[in-house]
Amino acid sequence: MYTLFSGLYKSLTEKEEFFVLILGLDNAGKTTFLEAAKAKFGEKRTKSLIPLTRKYDGKNSDKAPLVNTSKITTTVGLNIGRIDTHGIRLNFWDLGGQEELQALWDKYYAECHAVIFTVDSHDRERVSESKAAFDAMISNSNITGVPLLVLANKQDLPESMGVREVKPIFQDNDEKIGNRECMVLPTSGLTGDGVVEGIEWLIQCIQRNVVNRPTGNQDND
């Protein structure tokens, strides 16, 4: 009888788990966006497998920061976050964006259910470098059809590129993007602007795409 009730309880309480990659160049604001998402939705548990070493430059923002950036530094390897919301569990893999670490990105493609590609919209000098990393990513067959959210991040900084400027750059390869769901969204990880909209859009896309990229349930902690 205990086994029966235990199994019933488990089936009612366990959540579907999805895995989301957060990619982009170093200093694009990936970790700050993740911290803002955890602050907005409430985190259950997170852990950093490898120490961080970068600060997000948001000191020119005219809004009160949502995230304490003094503790956020460059991701050298992998940073993991988890959010329980809308009855599901989102596991985020925030990967280092340095050139030598980009070769490791494709190790995670086959298991992910969505990708967040973060663009530093304030750093115009590195846009072409960011675009090259983006093109290499979407060319990988293991990520075909996976929903893609492109963040025009750091909108809190003056003279940042808006969506009208970023979107044509990162959506000019329609044949590589394919028929996946894709959106370019203005965000600020520092202030939290656009964070909720982006995560909720991803959740809808992931759930619509579950037939093509299924997931399994795992035990809660």
Is 29 among the annotated ligand-binding positions?
A: yes
Give whole-number Cα distances, 166 to 50, 51, 140, 161, 221, in Å: 31, 31, 22, 6, 40
What is the Cα–Cα distance from 177 to 184, expressed in whole angstroms?
A: 13
Is 26 among the annotated ligand-binding positions?
A: yes
Is 75 among the annotated ligand-binding positions?
A: yes
Is 154 among the annotated ligand-binding positions?
A: yes
Is 30 among the annotated ligand-binding positions?
A: yes
DSSP-derived 3-state class of residue 11: helix
Is 7 among the annotated ligand-binding positions?
A: no
110: which 2 tokens? 């086959």
Is 156 among the annotated ligand-binding positions?
A: yes
Is 97 among the annotated ligand-binding positions?
A: yes
Is 153 among the annotated ligand-binding positions?
A: yes
Concatenated DSSP letters of 88-108: EEEEEEEE--STTTGGGGGGS
Q: What are phi and psi of 3, to 5 degrees?
A: -60, -40
Is 77 among the annotated ligand-binding positions?
A: no
Is 31 among the annotated ligand-binding positions?
A: yes
- Annotated binding-site positions for Mg(2+): 31, 75
- Annotated binding-site positions: 24-31, 75, 97, 153-156
- Annotated binding-site positions for GTP: 24-31, 97, 153-156
